Chain A
Amino acid sequence: MIHSLFLINNAGDLFLEKHWKSVISRSVCDYFFEAREKAVEPDNVPPVIRTPHHYLINIYREKIFFVSVIQTEVPPLFVIEFLHRVAETFQDYFGECSETTIKDNVVIVYELLEEMLDNGFPLATESNILKELIRPPTILRSMVNTITGSSNVGETLPTGQLSNIPWRRAGVKYTNNEAYFDVVEEIDAILDKSGTTVFAEIQGVIDACVKLSGMPDLTLSFMNPRLLDDVSFHPCVRYKRWESERVISFIPPDGNFQLMSYHISAQNLVAIPIYVKQNISFFETGSSGRLDIAVGPKQTMGKTVECLVVTVHMPKVVLSANLSATQGTYNYDPVTKILLWDIGKLNPQKLPNLKGSLSLQSGAPKPEENPSLNIDLKIQQLAISGLKVNRLDMYGEKYKPFKGVKYVTKAGKFQVRT
């Protein structure tokens, strides 16, 4: 199972180590550093690295490498999933997962790691349970603790851990009972030069924020459940009822959690909300080029496209850009070679356009590669797949909760080729 964990920052400093079995010397990380060096970009470090006696499985999150050491045959996905869970737990506890916050809370971090893994076997990874065992730090609590001498660690057995619903703690009480669901869809797409869709799919998730007293049993139903044929559920969802009735029936964990994720790949269902016309060309002589990008709405279902950002990764030889934008602001970073055009809200009456000239390093040959455009956008109150929640029913408790559903569509990996 998982032997040890090392946390390493972007500069290559090892700032935390934790061993669940015998201690493994940190020199094992040299193999990681070697791979890191070779990969140039931190994103490109291979997730599984083989050393003579160990395997290093790592993830890269928030500028931190989580490097785990294993010695025997362990499913790598198991390790990677666990590392993600560690990162999420830090995020959950400290608001952000960064070197500074980890160092600031090192004892809690240690207690958490000890609680999450025993001899390399996962022990408690549910946020609900962890929070019962080890209370997250708040400014108020650390002050209270200092004054009263009370501690961060729960004194009792976490109740949920043994019941059939290990994800929920017992004795939850709220004065305002509320359940909110966010249907978030991301469009992953590749459009080619002419604007034709090469590939498009929707990655959807339903995030829930449920603050209900007692043991509520919820049922969520959709207007059009047929859209969903590829789904992954939170462990709390009763799979049998989904199979037979296409409703989501569950006893929720307390607080924030991801209820389900789904994946829609049928091309006809994936609407592309905007179109992009672009022309980026470089001249053989004169060390210059031209750029002309225009964006307009396509299938927006009558909603407004917001937070529209176009990012262009320019070839290395592009020194600067002299452009003018009819809307929004642009910025070219000559170090990272990234052109960023922040458009904001898309106005259908006046289509935004960015054009002008690019200057190249003098004497350099015409760039060989075609730059690629990445699009970011957001559409409120719309799930682009058309998915709609029908109703939410609650059983098992008497009170009447506040309920709400929000929809939002974003661009995921949305790429336009040139």
Chain B
Amino acid sequence: MTDSKYFTTTKKGEIFELKAELNSDKKEKKKEAVKKVIASMTVGKDVSALFPDVVNCMQTDNLELKKLVYLYLMNYAKSQPDMAIMAVNTFVKDCEDPNPLIRALAVRTMGCIRVDKITEYLCEPLRKCLKDEDPYVRKTAAVCVAKLHDINAQLVEDQGFLDTLKDLISDSNPMVVANAVAALSEIAESHPNSNLLDLNPQTINKLLTALNECTEWGQIFILDCLANYMPCDDRESQSICERVTPRLSHANSAVVLSAVKVLMKFMEMLPKDLDYYGTLLKKLAPPLVTLLSAEAELQYVALRNINLIVQKRPEILKHEMKVFFVKYNDPIYVKLEKLDIMIRLASQANIAQVLAELKEYATEVDVDFVRKAVRAIGRCAIKVEQSAERCVSTLLDLIQTKVNYVVQEAIVVIKDIFRKYPNKYESVIATLCENLDSLDEPEARAAMIWIVGEYAERIDNADELLESFLEGFHDESAQVQLQLLTAIVKLFLKKPTETQELVQQVLSLATQDSDNPDLRDRGYIYWRLLSTDPVAAKEVVLAEKPLISEETDLIEPTLLEELICHIGTLASVYHKPPSAFVEGSRGVQHKRLPARAVITLVKRTGLSGSNMGAGLGVAPAAMPASLGGAPAVGGGLGDLFDLGGGVGMPTGSYVAPKTVWLLAIKAKGLEISGTFARRGGIIQMDLSLTNKAMSVMTDFAVQFNRNSFGLAPAGPMQVLTPLSPNQTIDVSLPLSMSGPVMKMEPLNNLQVAVKNNIDVFYFSCQYPLSLLFVEDGRFYRQVFLATWKDIPNDSEAQFQIKDIHLNSDVASNKLQGSNIFTIAKRTVEGQDMLYQSIKLTNGIWVLAEMRIQTGNPNYTCTVPRIVYASLLHSQ
């Protein structure tokens, strides 16, 4: 007899019948009836009308019946809140049952009843269960706190459940620890700054102990939690790595990948010359390879992550190319990912093998895959210079197959090869030209036209070829039309005598007969250029172009770092930072890889001297270099006070007056003055552009060179109207911190390029470091002193700020406006001591002590110290 019998009664009076059965005296009949009700529920039938009758069955000593009723309750309580209250008593009673299974079941079900009215009644039983003698009940109760928090967060906080939950991290039972961690992690996701998971060496030790003994799922929670910890030095980091490594041999692939995440992150702190560092690198390869023998879905997620890992640390998998070879029956999503990784791993040593494989794939059935394989050959050529020739000949072989889409794809990539290695492979052009007629995709046609234009002087019948395209000009896509226009102009500049007619024809087609504005504008530009100054036209159109490189395919380094911290998550599958797409995670914090990055920054500042403090994890003396040492910044701090000396001025970030950055005589009439400001957490560059020339300026654009903190424009510069002579426009350019990082001298130097219709101009300016002080720079008061003491004495700097007539409170307020937070204040012998903290956008903490003698206009600012991010607290 099977459960399908429960579906057979679909008669009209079904509900009525069930009602009668539910109220039957016979236990067995009751149970059967509840089963029927559940079965109807599972297929989406509405049986909520039976609510009171089902709840009546709840008071039973039959466990199965109880479970079934609970199942029903969870489903329908929401729609019948008043009725659901009837169930409360039974829950409370069950929570005291001698059988721990019943107690756990009750507390588990309670949490699933998402009715506000009921939750209040459940606090007491839950509190008891959290302290139950039986660990099975405690672990169930831990999860219940997370459920309750989801329904009513305030209630959970008021009742102090979060503290009880934190205590459970020290529980003697590993399963309880794991569930407490899981619950806290889930709650923390909606409270980014709550510091719920306060990780310190003691708790870490407890977690590591529990890690060995809890279930596979618990291991995942614990490992993911560990990954958020910042070890204070390389020794601690190594000891955590050693204890996590055995997880790499776990049968559950999610455990393996979470362990990989912890190792990839903490490895960052280990000195590269350490033996253990090499050992660890070797240990990482086999588990990653093993992930690829799992089911296709697991492979896919693994491959997306491996893609990140090989970009960060190519050495781990450099000898494992073969495992990424594509198998005939791999699903398409696995095939495409493998292909991508093959290219990333391609090097001079293995390129022959890779090319042979790619050529094989180019004859497969799946068109998408074939296309990507052909593209991959082109990417290999661009990546591995020595292989370019072999790649080109492979592509030519493929063109010989005359398979239409293969030929087209090959031509597109050969164009890119030309852009990387100009004037090297023109011999193949003849072969390409033979296939001209078969090209029907715009991208391939455009590529071919580009090649003809670029090498017009070496193709005898270039004019004929281009002319043949011109015949159907209006039927072509915009991409092809634009290419055709440019190619013909190039041809004309190279062979002016024979092609005058052709160029006139294309210019008139583009400017008069087309309604595409891009095409028309480009047509006019060429036309004017050609008619006013052919020499200049030649310089512009035939100018030498920068070479392309493989870097265009790589993930930008700061994003890559963040993604490495998120290995195994959705972010790693989509290769996007979690803030970009996860809904409901308010204010996701950007995670960063720890340590060495910071230490190297310090090293480069050159002032840090002997004790690099790797052993202590403290990066010493960096601050004097960047703040105290550099007079510009010492002054900058003074500036923060200068703010008009104004009493009653609204506190806010200090903004320096604009200074002239670019002189008009140096920039063909364009004068730029500007300053930087931090408004509501957003860094802005305020610019005034003045046109001191005689003609109108348009097409403004701006770009930054790499700089110490990765400042970059967050969007294009918005200059909407043309700038007429003697006009000034004010522009505010929001900046992001996601640009490429390179240490500058001085540290706060920024090199800027501004382009307009006339030329490109370069200037450099310096931004105040206070620009980088973030709003959540308040260090934890409890640990401030301990941290302060932990910093070695020789990593301090001292300087005086003169002539400030403010008392300590006003000064403190003023500084707070610039995100310098006063953590504590002490008065000793007529001196006010302010203890302050600052956090920079890249996670560096600065601690400072400021001494103010009443009546003395000179402040002594002692010891700006830098502590390595999150030394004692973790995010």
**Chain B residues closer than 8 Å to A245, beta-carbon distance:** none
Q: Verify if B391 is at the interface (C-beta below 8 Å from A).
A: no
Q: Is there contact, CB below 8 Å, between A107 and B6?
A: yes
Complex: chain B residue closest to A316, CB-CB? B365
A164 to B151, CA, bound (A): 34
By beta carbon, the residue of chain A nearest B582 is: A73
What residues on A are CB-neighbors of B583 within 8 Å?
Answer: 53, 71
B253 contact set on A, CB distance < 8 A: 77, 80-81
Interface contact A75-B363, CB-CB below 8 Å:
no
Interface string of B737-760 (1 = CB under 8 A from A): 000000000000000000000000
Bound-state Cα–Cα, A118 to B136, Å: 13
Interfacial chain A residues near B189, Cβ < 8 Å? 72-73
Q: Mark B564-588, 1 if CB is under 8 A from A, else 0.
A: 0000111101100010011111000
Number of interface residues of B (CB under 8 A): 104
Q: Are B401 and A146 in contact (CB under 8 A)?
A: no
Contact with B along A362-377 (1 / 0, CB 8 A): 0000001110101000
A188 x B293 contact (CB < 8 A): yes
In the complex, the answer to whether A77 meets B257 with C-beta atoms within 8 Å is: yes
Instruction: Let me know if B302 is at the binding interface, CB within 8 A.
Output: yes
Q: Which of B4, B71, B146, B568 is close to A110, meaning CB atoms less than 8 Å apart?
A: B71
Quick check: is A388 within 8 A (CB to CB) of the other chain? no
Say if the beta carbon of A111 comes within 8 Å of chain B.
yes
Q: Are B114 and A43 in contact (CB under 8 A)?
A: no
The stretch of A147-155, A211-219, A345-353 in contact with B is A147-155
Nearest chain A CB to B265 CB, angstrom units: 15
Tell me if A301 is interfacial: C-beta within 8 Å of chain B.
no
CB pair A232–B333 under 8 Å, yes or no, is no
**A50–B217 touching, CB < 8 Å:** no
CB distance from B69 to the nearest CB of A (A): 12
0/1 interface trace, chain B 98-139, chain A, CB 8 Å (1 if under): 011100000010011010000000000000000000111000
Residues of A within 8 A of B578 (CB): 73
User: A374–B328 contact, CB under 8 A?
Assistant: yes
Number of interface residues of A (CB under 8 A): 100
Return chain B residues, CB-CB under 8 Å to A106: 3-4, 6, 39, 42-43
Chain A residue numbers with a CB within 8 Å of B28 are 149
Q: Are B329 and A413 in contact (CB under 8 A)?
A: yes
Q: How far is the CA of A143 from the CA of B300 in the complex (A)?
A: 45
Interface residue? A37 (CB, 8 A): no
Q: Is the CB of A198 within 8 A of B357?
A: yes
Q: Report the bound CA distance from A20 to B75 in whole Å.
A: 9
Give B65-105 as 1s and 0s: 1 = Cβ < 8 Å from A's Cβ atoms.
10110010001001000000000000000000001110000
* B297 beta carbon closer than 8 Å to chain A: yes
A41–B369 CA distance with the chains assembled, in angstroms? 15
A370 to B146, CA, bound (A): 56
Q: How many A-B residue pairs have CB under 8 A?
A: 251
Please tell me which one of the listed residues B4, B38, B571 contacts residue A103 in the complex, with CB atoms under 8 A apart: B4
Decide if B201 is an interface residue (CB 8 Å cutoff): no
Scan B290-306; emit 1 where CB is below 8 A from any A CB, else 0: 10010111101110000
- Which listed residue, A41, A47, A192, A199, touches B297 by the CB 8 Å rule? A47
- Least CB distance from B480 to A in Å reads 26
Is there contact, CB below 8 Å, between B143 and A118? yes
Whether A201 lies near B38 (C-beta < 8 A) is no
List A residues 116-156 near B (Cβ within 8 Å): 118-119, 121-122, 125-126, 137, 142-143, 146, 149, 151-156
User: A24 CA to B160 CA in the complex, in Å?
Assistant: 30
Q: How far is the CA of A128 from the CA of B700 in the complex (A)?
A: 70
> Interface segment, A258-266, A291-299, A400-408?
A258-266
Complex contacts, A11 vs chain B, CB 8 Å: none
Kindly specify which of B319-327, B432-440, B483-491, B627-635 makes contact with the partner chain. Answer: B319-327
Given contacts A73-B578, A76-B573, A81-B252, A122 and B301 within 8 Å (CB-CB):
no
Given A80-B297, A114-B71, A374-B329, check contact A192 B360 (CB 8 Å).
Answer: yes
Pick the contact of A75: B99, B143, B224 (CB < 8 A): B224
B557 within 8 A of A: no
Within 8 A of B (CB), among A77-100: 77-78, 80-82, 84
* A76 to B300 alpha-carbon distance, docked (Å): 10
B324 CB to closest chain A CB, in angstroms? Answer: 9
Stretch at the interface among B243-251, B378-386, B670-678: B243-251
**Is B289 in contact with A263, judged by CB distance below 8 angstroms?**
yes
Taking a contact as CB atoms under 8 Å apart, the answer to whether B251 and A118 are in contact is: no
In angstroms, how far is the closest chain B Cβ from the Cβ of A83?
Answer: 8
- Select the residue from A41, A103, A156 with max chain B CB neighbours within 10 A: A103
Q: How many Å lie between the Cα of A48 and that of B6 in the bound state?
A: 35
Option from A82, A105, A157, A239 in Cβ contact (under 8 Å) with B136: A157
The residue that A156 contacts in the complex, of B44, B62, B101, with Cβ under 8 A, is B101
Q: With an 8 A cutoff between CB atoms, is A231 at the interface?
A: yes
Chain B residue nearest to A368 in the complex (CB)? B403
Which residues of A have CB within 8 Å of B296? 43, 47
Q: How far is the CB of A310 from chain B (nearest CB, A)?
A: 13
- CB A276 to nearest CB in B, in angstroms, measures 14
For A100, give the chain B residue with the smallest CB separation: B4
Question: Is the beta-carbon distance between A46 and B6 smaller than 8 angstroms?
Answer: no
A198 closest partner in B (C-beta): B325
Quick one: which of A41, A232, A258 has the most chain B CB within 10 A?
Answer: A232
B245 → A minimal CB distance (Å): 9
Give the docked Cα–Cα distance between A84 and B849 (Å).
57
A235 and B174 CA atoms in complex are apart in Å by 14
* Closest Cβ–Cβ distance, residue A278 to chain B (whole Å): 14
CA distance A367 to B179 in the complex (A): 58
CB atoms of B39 and A263 under 8 A apart: no
Q: How far is the CA of A59 from the CA of B249 in the complex (A)?
A: 24
**A74 in the interface (beta carbon within 8 A):** yes
Q: Are B364 and A369 interface neighbours, CB within 8 A?
A: yes
Q: Is B63 engaged at the interface, CB distance under 8 Å to the other chain?
A: yes
| Interface status of B237 (Cβ within 8 A of chain A) | no
A-B contacts, 19 listed (Cβ < 8 Å): A16-B43, A23-B78, A55-B570, A72-B186, A72-B189, A75-B568, A80-B297, A82-B217, A104-B4, A111-B71, A118-B108, A119-B147, A121-B179, A162-B135, A198-B322, A199-B323, A201-B323, A230-B290, A235-B216
Q: A114-B67, A121-B143, A261-B251 are in contact. List 16 more A-B contacts (CB 8 A).
A: A16-B42, A22-B114, A44-B331, A50-B574, A77-B253, A106-B3, A121-B182, A122-B215, A154-B63, A157-B101, A166-B175, A198-B322, A233-B250, A233-B251, A265-B322, A415-B328
Top 5 closest pairs, chain A to chain B, by CB: A230-B286, A153-B64, A104-B2, A77-B254, A151-B64
